[in-house]
Chain A
Amino acid sequence: MRIIWLVIFSLLFISAIVAFVVAFRKKVAYVLLGAPEKRFDRIPSRLRNFAENVLLQKKLLQESYGIAHLIIFWGFVFIVISELPFIFDGLFPDYSLPLVETTAGAIFFMIKDVLATAVFIGLVVALIRRWIIKPVRLYRTLEAFLVVFFIMLVIVTDWLFVGARLAMDPHITSFQFSPLYQLTGRLLSGMETSTLELFAQICWWAHIGVLLAFTVYIPNSKHLHLIGAPLNSYFASLKPVGGQIKPMDLEDESVTEYGISRIEAFTWKQLLDSFSCGECGRCMDNCPANLSGKPLNPKELLSRTLKHHLLDKGEVMLKYGLKSTGEENEDKLAEIAEKSPEDAAILNKNLIKDVVTEDVLWSCTTCMSCQIQCPVSNEHVNKIVDMRRYQAMMEGDLSSELLIALRNVENNSNPWGVGSSKREDWAKDLNVPLLRDAENPEDIEYLYWVGCAGSFDGRSQKVATAVVKILTAAGVKFAILGTEEKCCGDFVRRTGNEYAYQTLVAENVETMNAYKVKKIVTACPHCLNTLKNEYPEFGGSYEVIHHTALINQLINEGKLSLNTEAAPEPQRIAYHDSCYLGRYQQEYEAPRALFNKVPGVTLVEMDRHHNKSFCCGAGGGRMWMEEHLGERINQARLKQALEKDPQVIGANCPFCMTMLTDGIKEIVDPEKGLTVVDPSELIAKMV
């Protein structure tokens, strides 16, 4: 037994643990400054998320180099387990832990040895990627280097220590199947035993030093990701992608603040996100705002802007024992302002404007790509909506164009501001049944929710007309609400106007429930999403289907037959997945299936498609706002389509249609005759 070693080791070990706990507790306390949120239910589903995204790293593996992370992750787990026998070996060289000197132990070390080698290679790949290939999305920081360097040192010192031991005694049972240990052992063999002994001792202490330093480094760096990410995966939202915006209780009179303007007003889960981020940059690589030169960078927002502000403000809040810097603590804040103006300056920083700029907030199109790509289940979009809520409901600070759209909704129930009495005018000559005329509304199988675009926008009216023609041909019993329909509220909610949103929802739900509506078909993915995923919170539960899915179903069931003679001319169509049908509902196939049912159509995929599809730029209320910063997103998307040299662009959403059509007018030679079509328009020609 090495008494002195044991003493020194114990002192170092205890110091490291204390340092770890002190730093870690602080971070936990910062996260707990957040508001409560219930994320403790449905344990089996949470465990499944944990298994998929932590143990199996499913999301990471969606990109090829994710394999390097999977190897590093599992290698690291084995390395951590093997630390116990490693430490024991150094402190008690004459004894061994149970199982270590058995075949089982040897197999464990064999796996560990192979994995550690793979980890080492993975780390080299990581270094090459970050510092030689230099993708924009990876930041070349000292932090990032240290993390890789620490793990490499841990592996190398372990190799050398075990190698030296094997050089002295090549027959150690536990390492008999370990190729790299054996190799190092052979390389070191031939040296004097005393030299090897000393060398092993140096390696052991070096290893312990690095290991303990790493332990202390974790809670003090972005590598807290190691703890944050698994927790975040467990606590990930279990709601559908399109139903994650928190409803607000507007009846509660004790609430005086709407939306979020203080970091601690976010929930603990929202704060935990910042510590989970591993800074992989998948979000920024897929964010249309970021890629088109807008100030929003989702990775920067979570892993830098919000996190650094939380670290600064959290420290001062804990120093004064403050749980909130809201109105209720006004007196205390005034007191602090007198004692320490510097501390007060940190506490009084406005989350919006001082920390997150308004341009960042309003750049988001709520396309959800950041969240879908994020391997650690971070929820970016909610935070943006929460802050927009403050701007909208507390400050009334909205762009003038957006205000016009909101007033139009308020006065005429549609953002275009056309008189609400004209809502059913498009259907006048089409014999479209109105629900209010139905003798028995319950006989109507589907409510066709036309939406504002289908009702008022000339281009979308053509899609609505096609839908009517198809549903009629298929003998579907459907009706529309006509003037009784009001804006669904999608953009109203996503621009932070929860009060106005809930007013619209209440009116629509009342109308639909009075008619006992059960099934809804709609051609607008934005209406679809809010009707399907958000209305249930407000007493409106319906089965909602996109028109492409319903039409596809009707054809497959033989209820709608297509006259292939009437097929349009052969055409090459680049299909654009809308965010609200694609990522939001995971419906990628129905629109493609419809296009493929049209003879002569050749469907081509853009580079960004399916869940990596690129937003048209209209979501999250951006449809109603000017785009002053960076490149226009609709043009960026159009250029991606043009790379495939299409004759037509396929779409499934009225907003995408408008944005892409505008893009064509802006940058494509009219001689080319490039158009945007909805698959239903081609199908309608064949019925």
Chain B
Amino acid sequence: MNIVVLVKQVFDTEAKIVLSSNTQISADGVTQIMNPYDENAVEAALQLKEAQGGEVIVVSMGSQKAVEALRTALAMGADRAVLVDDPALIETDEFTAAQVLAKAISTQNYDLILSGKVAIDGQSSQVPARIAEILGIPHANVVTKMEIKDGKAEVTREIDGGIEIIEMPLPAVVTAQKSLNDPRYPSVPGIMKAKKKELKTLSLADLGLSADEVASKMAVLEYSLPPARQAGRLVQGDPAQAASELASLLHSEAKVI
């Protein structure tokens, strides 16, 4: 059972977002981490490997910064890593990411592709589904339970107001919800071994792709930060009067009623 896990290096959830220009978010001094849902995907892959054998290959697209996420996955127990890093891939959209990653995955021998259900930076949740489409294989997202046997995957996914259990043939793409498992804490020997595991960096040319054929379909026109949160206001005084004042404030200022 060979498993490819897609991981992405993202801003920490507590990172302070600063715009360096209208169309660019500054990464200066920002702590970056492996996308938390991807950790669940790595954990699921490792558990499958421990139960059924095989190889876990972590794949990412990004700058050299993404090496940290890959090393973390290797420290958790993945066997080797592939990073696609190319100057042409600095500002991309989901189309590009899916094209590039699908190509990188297709050079591997795989039975299952795992990833987090969403990357907490872009929040589009598109890439895994697009990859499934490109590779022509089934896809299930927001998975909370997964069982693999006899070349099939039985997965439980979260849907609005309930759950859905589906079965699909392998290979397939599955994206992990938080409740799928508890990602392990890398052991120190794991961290030490990870330093020596294979981490291959590929360029677009290495994948036989040209910048043009994977060029973004989408251009960001502008980013803007949400308005700063205002301090709360306490409406004081006689209850009846305060209530009517509150109601009028909610109507005229907050415009919620």
The answer to whether A and B assemble together is yes
Of B182, B184, B188, the residue contacting A250 (CB under 8 A) is B188
* Chain B residues, Cβ within 8 Å of A498: 188
> Which one of B31, B185, B186 lies within 8 Å of A420 (CB-CB)?
B31
| Cβ contact of A411, chosen from B31, B184, B188, cutoff 8 A | B31
- Inter-chain contact B189/A394, CB cutoff 8 Å: yes
Known: A253-B192, A421-B29. A396 touches B187 (CB 8 A): yes
Q: How far apart are the CA atoms of A412 and B12 in the complex, in Å?
A: 8
CB of A403 within 8 Å of the partner chain: yes
B16 interfacial contact with A, CB 8 Å: yes
Q: Which residues, 372 to 410 on A, are CB-close (under 8 Å) to B?
A: 392-396, 398, 400, 403, 406
Interface residues of A in 232-259 (CB under 8 A from B): 250, 253, 256, 258
Q: How far is the CB of A511 from chain B (nearest CB, A)?
A: 14
How many whole Å from A224's CB to the nearest CB in chain B? 37
Q: Which residues of A contact B16 (CB under 8 A)?
A: 419, 421-422
In the complex, B168 has a CB within 8 A of chain A: no
- B188 and A394 form a contact (CB under 8 A): yes
In the complex, residue of chain B having the shortest beta-carbon distance to the beta carbon of A414: B14
User: B residues within 8 A CB of A24?
Assistant: none
**Complexed CA–CA distance, A411 and B120 (Å):** 15
Question: By the criterion CB–CB under 8 Å, are B15 and A394 in contact?
Answer: no
Pair A396/B184 contact, Cβ less than 8 Å: yes
**Contacting pair B187 A419 (CB below 8 A):** no
Q: CB of A418 within 8 A of chain B?
A: yes
Instruction: For B184, list chain A residues within 8 Å (CB).
Output: 396
Q: Which residues in B have their C-beta under 8 angstroms from that of A422? A: 14, 16
Chain B: which residue is nearest A419 at the CB level? Answer: B14
Tell yes or no: A105 within 8 A of B by CB: no
Chain B hits for A412, CB < 8 A: 12, 14, 31
B39 (CB) vs chain A CBs: closest residue: A407
Which residues of the other chain, B, contact A209 by a CB distance below 8 angstroms?
none
8 Å CB interface, B167-188 against A: 182, 184-188
B189→A419 contact, CB < 8 A: no
Name the distance in Å between A282's Cβ and chain B's nearest Cβ. Answer: 36
Rounded to whole Å, the gap between the CB of A666 and the closest CB of chain B is: 27
Residue among B12, B33, B185 with the most chain A CB within 10 A?
B185
Complex contacts, A394 vs chain B, CB 8 Å: 187-189
- A394 vs B192: C-alpha distance in the bound complex, in angstroms? 11
What 1/0 flags go to A22-65 for Cβ under 8 Å of B?
Answer: 00000000000000000000000000000000000000000000
In the bound assembly, the distance between CA atoms of A258 and B189 in angstroms comes to: 8
Write out, one digit per residue, whether chain A residues 592-612 have a CB within 8 A of any chain B CB (1) or not (0). 000000000000000000000
A411 with B14, Cβ < 8 A, contacts A420-B31, A421-B29 known:
yes
A395 to B188, CA, bound (A): 9
State whether the Cβ of B191 lies closer than 8 Å to any Cβ in chain A. Answer: yes
Q: How far, in whole Å, are A11 and B189 apart by their CA atoms in the complex? A: 58
Which chain A residue lies CB-closest to B192?
A253
> Which residues of B185-221 have CB atoms within 8 Å of chain A's CB atoms?
185-192
Q: What separation, in Å, do the CA atoms of A392 and B185 have in the docked complex?
A: 9
- A419:B188 contact, CB within 8 angstroms: no
If A394-B187, A411-B33, A499-B191 touch, whether A400 touches B182 (CB-CB below 8 Å) is yes
Number of interface residues of B (CB under 8 A): 17
Asked if A417 is at the interface (CB within 8 A of a chain B CB), the reply is: yes
- The answer on a CB contact under 8 Å between B14 and A417 is yes
Chain A residues within 8 Å of B182, by CB: 400
Contact with A along B208-247 (1 / 0, CB 8 A): 0000000000000000000000000000000000000000
Q: In whole Å, how far is B111's beta carbon from the nearest beta carbon of chain A?
A: 27
Whole-angstrom CA separation of A406 from B29 in the bound complex: 20
B68 CB to closest chain A CB (Å) equals 11
Q: Are B14 and A403 in contact (CB under 8 A)?
A: no
User: Does the CB pair A396–B31 fall under 8 Å?
Assistant: no
Contacts A411-B31, A411-B33, A421-B29; is A258 near B12 (CB within 8 Å)? Answer: no
CA distance A392 to B186 in the complex (A): 9
CB-defined contacts of B15 to chain A, threshold 8 Å:
419, 421
The minimal Cβ–Cβ distance linking A413 to chain B, given in whole angstroms, is: 8
Residues of B within 8 A of A420 (CB): 14, 31
Q: Name A499's closest neighbour in chain B (CB-CB).
A: B188
Q: What string of 1s and 0s marks CB contacts (under 8 Å) between B12-39 and chain A?
A: 1011100000000000010101000000
Give chain B residues whose Cβ lies under 8 Å from the Cβ of A250.
Answer: 188
B29 and chain A: residue at smallest CB distance = A421
Q: How far is the CA of A641 from the CA of B187 in the complex (A)?
A: 42
Known: A400-B182, A411-B31. A393 touches B14 (CB 8 A): no
Q: How far is A398 from B186 in the complex, measured between Cα atoms in Å?
A: 11
- Minimum CB–CB distance from A482 to chain B (whole Å) comes to 12
**Smallest CB gap from B30: residue in A:** A421
Q: A197 to nearest B CB, angstroms?
A: 75
- Residues on A with C-beta less than 8 A from B185 are 392, 396, 398, 403, 406
Contacts of B189 in A (CB 8 A): 256, 258, 393-394
Nearest chain A CB to B114 CB, angstrom units: 20
**How far, in Å, is B53 (CB) from chain A's closest CB?**
22
Are the C-beta atoms of A419 and B192 separated by less than 8 Å?
no
**How many angstroms between the C-alpha atoms of A499 and B75 in the bound complex?**
13
Chain B residues within 8 Å of A253, by CB:
192
A395: B residues at CB distance < 8 A: 187
Pair A393/B29 contact, Cβ less than 8 Å = no
**Which residues from chain A contact B12 at a C-beta distance below 8 Å?**
411-412, 419
Residues in A neighbouring B191, C-beta threshold 8 A:
499
**Smallest distance from the beta carbon of A166 to chain B beta carbons, Å?**
72
Nearest to B14 among chain A residues (CB) is A419
User: Which residues of B lie under 8 Å from residue A393 when comparing CB positions?
Assistant: 187-189
| A358-382 near B? 1/0 per residue, CB < 8 Å | 0000000000000000000000000
Contacts of A417 in B (CB 8 A): 14
In the complex, what residues of B have CB within 8 A of residue A419's CB? 12, 14-16
- Residues from chain A with a CB closer than 8 A to the CB of B192 are 253
A251 CB → nearest B CB, Å: 10
- Give the distance to chain B from A407, nearest Cβ to Cβ, in Å: 8
Q: How far is the CA of A104 from the CA of B86 in the complex (A)?
A: 96
B14 touches A418 (CB 8 A): yes
Q: Bound complex: CA of A398 vs CA of B182, how far in Å?
A: 12
Q: Which residues between 494 and 515 of chain A lie within 8 Å of chain B, taking CB atoms?
A: 498-499
Contact with A along B82-125 (1 / 0, CB 8 A): 00000000000000000000000000000000000000000000
Give every chain B residue within 8 A of A400 (Cβ-Cβ): 182
Rounded to whole angstroms, the CA-CA distance of A475 and B191 in the bound complex is 48
Task: Known contacts A411-B12, A420-B14; decide if A258 and B33 are in contact (CB<8 Å).
Answer: no
Which residues of A lie under 8 Å from residue B190 when comparing CB positions? 396
A258, closest chain B residue (CB): B188
Residues of A within 8 A of B187 (CB): 393-396
- In the complex, residue of chain A having the shortest beta-carbon distance to the beta carbon of B33: A411
Contacts of A396 in B (CB 8 A): 184-187, 190
Interface residues of A in 476-508 (CB under 8 A from B): 498-499
Q: Which of A1-33 contact B (CB under 8 A)?
A: none
- The residue of chain A having its C-beta at the shortest distance from the C-beta of B72 within the complex is A410
Tell me, in angstroms, the Cα distance from A422 to B185 when the chains sit together.
26
> Which residues does chain B contribute within 8 Å of A418, judged by CB atoms?
14
CA A262 – CA B187 in complex, angstroms? 18
Interface residues of A in 214-242 (CB under 8 A from B): none
Q: Mark A428-442, 1 if CB is under 8 A from B, else 0.
A: 000000000000000
Question: In the assembly, what is the distance between CA of A401 and CA of B192, in Å?
Answer: 25
Q: Which residues of A contact B186 (CB under 8 A)?
A: 396
The residue among B12, B182, B188 with the most chain A CB atoms within 10 A of its own CB is B188
How many Å from the CB of A487 to the closest CB on chain B? Answer: 13
A258 to B192 alpha-carbon distance, docked (Å)? 12
Subset of 5 A-B contacts with CB under 8 Å: A396-B187, A396-B190, A400-B182, A417-B14, A418-B14
Task: Give me 9 other A-B pairs in contact (C-beta within 8 A), A393-B187, A406-B185, A412-B14 excluded.
Answer: A256-B189, A396-B186, A411-B31, A411-B33, A417-B14, A418-B14, A419-B14, A498-B188, A499-B188
Minimum-distance CB pairs A-B, first 6: A419-B14, A396-B185, A393-B188, A421-B16, A411-B12, A499-B188
